[in-house]
Amino acid sequence: MHHDHPAAVERHLEAWLGAWPPTRDRLEAVGHPARAEPGWDGGHHPLIGIIAPDGGILSLRPDLVERVRPLLTSPEEAADPRWRARVADAIGLHDQVIGNDVFRFVREAPSPDALPDVGRWVPAGDPDLPDWLRPFNAPEALVAREHDQLLGAAGIKMLSPHGAEIAVVIEPNARGRGLARSLTAQACRRLIADGLAPTVIHADDNIGSVRAAEAVGFTDEGWRALEVLPREARWRGIARRARRRVRARRDRGGRPASR
């Protein structure tokens, strides 16, 4: 299943951010009324940014644009956590941080022969949905069960009339079976059939998301997503990376260094 993805992604980004594409080699701030309205989860998202290799857009609540504009330099600046901290302070996000994650899109969804359907589309109001799926604003969620036991699910964030983000969670006892890639592929096929651009956003160190995305065809083309996160999310990420480094050393037969 194929579609003209560059055009589809551009339509989605223009509607979601309020402007796209950016001026080449520039990071630009635009005011967008959507940033002052409830987002996909019912919460407010005063800043969202997409940084492509040749330029980027920071979509802001309109009253915040002039606070950020003096801080804008080059798209590469967005990778610096100190710069993101200055932006967060400028717009009053003292208890939050601006994350910098991988943004992926797909040009062609794999066929069901390559990655078969493993889930069932369930209405968003179904009482048996796991709690983590309830904030998602799509009319349906994709759920995989076996003998009435939840294996995993895909939630769909409807971000604009032209595009959506796929988020997949697999239950710990069902991991290692390829369910994440199959659920991602199934959701991707549905979105493309509905004329929407499917996207995936994940942290650099989320190895499961990396593997699932690449298996489905969401290649990493150097695009980044800036989103506002609770400050504790940064520390959870640091702790997660530390645990992975310890496990990696143990797998190599080494021992973690004591401090």
Cis peptide before 21 (omega within 30 of 0): yes
Question: Model-level pTM?
Answer: 0.87
Instruction: Tell me the C-alpha distance between 248 and 246, whole Å.
Output: 5
Q: Using 70 as the pLDDT threshold, list the residues of the chain that sit under it.
A: 1-5, 231-259
Strands (DSSP E) along 8-114, which ranges?
27-31, 47-52, 55-60, 96-106
DSSP assigned state of 45: -
Under 8 Å CB-to-CB from 141, ≥6 apart: which residues? Answer: 121, 122, 124, 126, 129, 133, 153, 154, 155, 156
Show the tokens assigned to 157: 């964030």
pLDDT, residue 13, reads: 98
Q: What pLDDT shows up at residue 6?
A: 76
Q: What is the pLDDT of residue 108?
A: 87
**Structural domains of the chain ordered from first start:** 5-103+223-243 (no CATH), 120-218 (3.40.630.30)
What DSSP state is assigned to residue 133? G
